[in-house]
Amino acid sequence: MVMKQRVADYIFSTIADLGVKDVFLLPGGGAMHLVDALGQNKDLRFIPTHHEQAAAIAAEAYARVNEKIGVALVTTGPGALNTLTAVAGAWIESVPLLIISGQVKRADMKADSGVRQMGPQEVDIVSMVKPVTKYAVTIEQSEDIRFHLEKAITLATSGRQGPVWLDVPLDIQAAMIDAEPLQFDVNELKSMGVEQTQLDEIAHLIADAKRPLILAGHGVRLSGAAKSFVSLVETLQVPVVTTWNSMDLLPFEHPLYVGKPGSVALRAANFAVQNCDLLISIGARLDNVITAHNPQGFAQHAKKIVVDIDENEMRKHQMTIDVPVIADANEFVQSLLSNIKDNQAETGEWRQQCQIWKNKYTICDGQEFPESGEISHYHFIDKLSDKVKEGELIITGSSGMSVCLLYTSPSPRD
């Protein structure tokens, strides 16, 4: 005999089974059963915040740091609306995020009545968040919760990852269910993998290149390829530049790391991009910050291999892509590692040149910071970096100035 279980309890037991440890929330009456279930779940730690925006942003940060889906719980109406900044950020940055919102009970919902509101604090949140989520749904039948929850989690954490949203009416939160039926079929989301013909072509281009360069984006870490990426780089012995979101894939002192290119950057990484003859972009969307709003002139002398899981991103590029690879970054890195054991090309002079640029074109062109008197922002960040222990996090504000200073400074613990 299958034991019945409250929908709210089922939701959070499923989340705990994913290995998630922390859920961020701001309680509210419209989510009362969900809040109760979270509080009673011994495998989850609930972290209350003072504002729903903070809960959702914290959940997004949790996903980035722990490489697991981030989860936030909020109540109806304005509680749900307050999360939209974080949801849009997770959508743009491909961060797996699950927002669970309470909703008025089904009997109080306005449906297609034409009125603006029936239930207290009722807002049609799903219609609002659909443009910035991979999946958003209001649960209409309690027995469908397994299907929708598994579908949401699967979509959030597969393909090009991103935020999903489950809106759970109050009466469904409290409903007792047998959660066995209607399991979501994940097989339809399996990747096609990287074609062997493309791997052969890429191997040939790498072997022929005199000045190859790898550009690594956030997709490398999102796909779980951080460790294997380092193995690939050190096998190929190819210099690396990174986007801001992926700048910790290699330590700053690594002999193959050059820096972060783009419109807000030191010169070394941009020199490397503009002088390479082969650019391998992995998991980077090559936005205007990286291309400095000049995609036609970006790495203009290079053959370009671009690896992106999102075919729409590939189609947007206003530059010639010689080998477009629609694939998960981890699958690509693993496949390339299996097909290329080392790089036989003579690229020693190119690696040396990249390090010359890196050492020469630093903050203040290599001048020592003064020992007394006024200090610059860069001086402050440099000294702060010396005090921060390995593994500690620095959270930057949303201002462009704070981000630029911290991300441009070439600190050992970038």
264 class by beta-carbon count within 10 Å (0-12 exposed, 13-18 middle, 19+ buried): middle
| Sheet strands side by side (includes 323-326) | 257-259, 240-242, 212-216, 278-282, 303-308, 323-326
Using one digit for the tens of pLDDT, what is the confidence trace for 232-279?
A: 999 999 999 999 889 989 998 999 999 999 988 889 999 999 999 999
- The reply to whether 5-189 and 196-361 are identical in fold is yes
Cβ neighbors of 157 (< 8 A, separation 6 or more) are 69, 96
Domain segments of the chain as ranges: 5-189, 196-361, 369-414
- pTM, 2 dp: 0.85
Using one digit for the tens of pLDDT, what is the confidence trace for 55-114?
A: 999 999 999 989 899 999 999 999 999 999 999 999 999 999 999 999 999 988 888 888
Percent with pLDDT over 90 in the chain: 71
One CATH from 3.40.50.360, 1.10.10.10, 1.20.1740.10, 3.40.50.1220 for 196-361: 3.40.50.1220
Using one digit for the tens of pLDDT, what is the confidence trace for 294-342?
A: 999 999 999 999 999 999 999 999 899 999 999 999 999 999 999 886 6
Using one digit for the tens of pLDDT, what is the confidence trace for 163-222?
A: 999 999 999 999 999 866 556 665 555 555 788 999 999 999 999 999 999 999 999 999
Using one digit for the tens of pLDDT, what is the confidence trace for 373-397?
A: 888 888 888 888 888 887 787 777 6
412 pLDDT above the threshold of 60: no
Question: What kind of architecture, by CATH, is found in domain 5-189?
Answer: 3-Layer(aba) Sandwich (3.40)
